[in-house]
């Protein structure tokens, strides 16, 4: 294998290592965002659940009859 070919392979490998590290950083950041969003959804779910009094029947749009009926 020629020295020129070996240098070319080393350069490609260095770029690939840099790219893998950058992609890993993005994945870690995205996972942190996902974790935060899941916490926020849980918090909002608890807030909504606590707003509705216990024992009160749930009301859906299908249950609401317009006033003209």
Interval 14-50: pLDDT, tens: 999 999 999 999 999 999 999 999 999 999 999 999 9
Q: What pLDDT shows up at residue 68?
A: 72
Q: What is the pTM of this model?
A: 0.61
Give dist(CA 2, CA 54) in Å, integer.
78
- Distances in Å between the alpha carbon of 15 and those of 12, 28, 42, 65? 5, 20, 41, 65
The two structure tokens encoding residue 60:
């859906």
Mean pLDDT of 4-12: 95
Q: In the 3-class helix/strand/coil scheme, how is 43-58 assigned residue by residue?
A: HHHHHHHHHCCCCCCC
Give dist(CA 16, CA 26) in Å, integer.
15
């Amino acid at each position: 294998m020629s020295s020129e070919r070996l240098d070319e392979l080393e350069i490609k490998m260095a770029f690939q290592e840099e790219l893998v590290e950058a992609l890993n950083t993005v994945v870690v950041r995205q996972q942190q965002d996902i974790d935060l969003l899941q916490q926020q959804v849980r918090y909002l779910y608890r807030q909504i659940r606590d707003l509705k009094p216990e024992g009160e029947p749930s009301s859906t749009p299908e249950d609401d009859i317009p006033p003209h009926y």
